[in-house]
Structure 1
Amino acid sequence: MPPLRTLLAVPVSLALLALTPTASSAPSDPPTDAILPLLVTRGDAPAAALLAREETGTRYADAGKGIARADHFRAGSITKTFIATVVLQLAAEHRLKLSDTVEQHLPGLVRGAGNDGRTMTLRALLTHTSGLNDFTVDTKGVVPLSPLQAVRIALTHPPAGPGRYYYSNTNYVLLGLVIKQVTGRTYATEAERRIVAPLGLTGTAFPGSRTSLPSPHGRAYAADGTDVTELDPRVAGAAGELVTTLADLDRFYAALLGGRLLPSRWLREMRDTQATHGLYGMGLFPVKLPCGTTVWGHNGRIAGSYVRTAATVDGRRVLTFRVNTTDIADPDLEPALLAAEFCPRTS
């Protein structure tokens, strides 16, 4: 899903002032934990949970019923950070260049309706500046597809302004195909051997076509209350297939931003937002909070799950929160939660 840039415009201070005292918002509680129940009462989620990772340890909180700390859940577009990391590792190994065209790796695939892989670079895919149409606009994110089918759907539409930022899941489906072409292994296999196994992310997997979640897990609900726990991950593929846990996402982003997965040059490339005028890097996007702190991370939305991870630029502080439904109904709550976690508290 695209980064919520409109979050920067909401009155975070008003959202914080609007909190009413409850048992979970006692003065001794961190303000983040006090906001969490509002994701249930104002955000209309059946349940919500967060896990904050700091140098002094971790902190867990939940609200509502149906979520546990160790639960597996679908992470949606947070998958893109994993895919971008693999691509940048391959670049660091000189197995591809970001200036390579899509045509060089996937000859003849991207043609049609004005789209041309001969003029489209891997950098453009990573930064969502290729102009490729988002196939999920057509499928509503509920139709399982092969990668080639997803690309072909996108290619029935003309490009949406090449060179300009336009968030499209098709970009990362193509990057998944590029990884396979370069390495001879699927993006899932490469991510597992390069990221998941080295970091010990025991709750993280790329399920392919498996519709069930690993145990333990709770239920997942669509906005209308329909149970969508069973879901074919091929509705998203390399753009949103990942299944994971709160602890694993905190560990992954801490390792990534802490320099454990990429050489410093390539981590800087990942955080470079010049091509998108500050909106998006490569599988990461920044959000500047009202106190001046900038946090980096990604969000993910897929049927029955909304997830957000944000971290300081050095990865020393990380917050992941999730709800077990597709959306947060109140758009003020996410920026308020991030500000409460990462902005200094005043007495």
Structure 2
Amino acid sequence: MAGGVGARANSASDTSLPKQYRLVAGIPLLSRTLAALLEIDAVSVVVPVIGSDHQSFYNDLGLSHAKLRGPVIGGETRQLSCLAGLEALQSEKPDLVLIHDAARPFVDAALIEGVAAALADADGAIPVTLVTDTIKRSLDGKTVGGTEDRTQLFAAQTPQGFRYEPILAAHRRAVELSDGFTDDAAIAEWANLRVALSQGSTRNIKITLPEDFARAERMILGNRRMEVRVGTGFDVHAFEPGDHVILGNIEIAHSAQLKGHSDADVVLHALADALYGALADGDIGAHFPPSDDQWKGADSTIFLKHATQRVAERGGRILHLDVTIICERPKIGPHVQAMRKRIAEIAAIDIGRVAVKATTSERLGFTGREEGIAAQAAATIELPGEALHDA
């Protein structure tokens, strides 16, 4: 289940990315969760259910696996999205189905084995953990109305497992009658299905709030020393006849276009080189030689995505991207926010970690003579200390 927007997780940051596409220790959350499921032998097929406007985010993950099916577009509610996912499995004819939240990246084989074992004599099974805090009840949210018996309370997790046909039938009925269910076990209970408990895990956290991202990164990275690296990049392209330029993957009308082997996006080129520099990993030319015709006219998002991926492969994360565009024309100011948003999407980081600025050269030099555009960039990244090595 990966169709939500994660409003609570994003509340403290200026980001257009749903939480499942944000980075956790350098890798998108959804990629981590899917990878964990795909590695488990007991899982035979995985179907992601995504939001109706998330297709481009999902495509950017670049996922491919024999067990992984194409994403299913969900509905306006979690319940409708879950039903869409269940319906998509009909051709697989499964006996058992697991319904899992994308926001729980620490799912493992032991959790799933426990759910499967509990399903031996039940219609459904959910992993749970004991409630250790004292739980108070309040009718008005201001005063205590009673104390719950915590020995009878359990915190439910996912993946929740069910016999396929009964839970599909229950979801179909529930859509017609109600939409107030908070999880799939609640639908099973409503449908009078027997739901058993299995052993959950305190590691199986759900990333819900902004601070949960930091907690997840600590769990992944442990106590490894993180080292901050800064890289710089510079790029320049001359003008040639045309009617627009592409800067930061944004098309801007102009009386000329930039000349280059690719789309000549000086902004993305400078940013990619800054990331490569922070990694001590060569430059764009080393990874994408201009002598190779396959890159002729290429969309420069390819270069920035590749540099971003190289950071993730080292277990690092991007802390900040800063680019300055140098030109007399076109006017950059009206397009700064669009560039920031697009760069953040390409690099899978919060827009608050992207700075785009512009300046002129006071009519001096080739930019002053309006012969071309230049861009200089700086990238700040964080790498695990023991991951530092010669490329």
Please give the TM-score of this superposition, normalised by the length of structure 2. Answer: 0.22
Larger Rg: 2
Structure with greater strand percent: 2
